[in-house]
Amino acid sequence: MTRHDRSYGFYEGVQRGFALDDAVAFRRLMLDIYGNRCAVTGKVFPPDEAANELEVFLFQPLGHGGPMAPGNAIVVEAVVAGLLEKGHILVNDAYCAYTAHPEIVPDMVEPGDAQGRNMALPDNVSLWPELTMVGYHRSLFRAQ
């Protein structure tokens, strides 16, 4: 009997409970829920551009046990997704996107609004990110 060695390559392994078709369907669902709009900048993209310009960001990544569900996700522009991944943009419990680094992300802080920018979320409140997931994301960067 051959033993499977997972120490080759990039240490890739089988990710249980995850299928590519599920990810594609989830992405389409999220783009539809958000109306092809970036939750942080509010910019709306035509459907033919949205697939290239928008990403689904998970507050608690799959690798950390986060679910692939609307309560753990938002739709954002690719640049914003990168800033979220690095903790340069965070979301508070009032669903405002803010940064501790206005020199890096000057458009995130509007004059006179110390709390950040209100996010463009779906009309259906039940599809908003869960505060526990948003808090988990902040905890990755030791932010309150």
Strand partners, 97: 91, 117
Residue 48 domain-assigned (yes or no): yes
- Residue closest to 54 by CA, chosen among 71, 31, 83: 31
- Residue closest to 34 by CA, chosen among 19, 14, 58, 54: 54
Residue 102 domain-assigned (yes or no): yes
pLDDT for the residue numbered 137: 96
Integer Cα distance of 131 and 137 in angstroms: 10
Tally of structural domains, the chain: 1
Residue 90 domain-assigned (yes or no): yes
Predicted TM-score (pTM) of this structure: 0.79
- Contact partners, residue 70, CB within 8 Å, separation at least 6: 29, 30, 33, 127, 129
What is the domain extent for residue 28? Answer: 20-140
Residue 1 domain-assigned (yes or no): no
Block means of pLDDT (10 residues each) for the chain, 144 residues, are 45 48 90 97 95 96 94 96 93 91 57 70 96 96 70
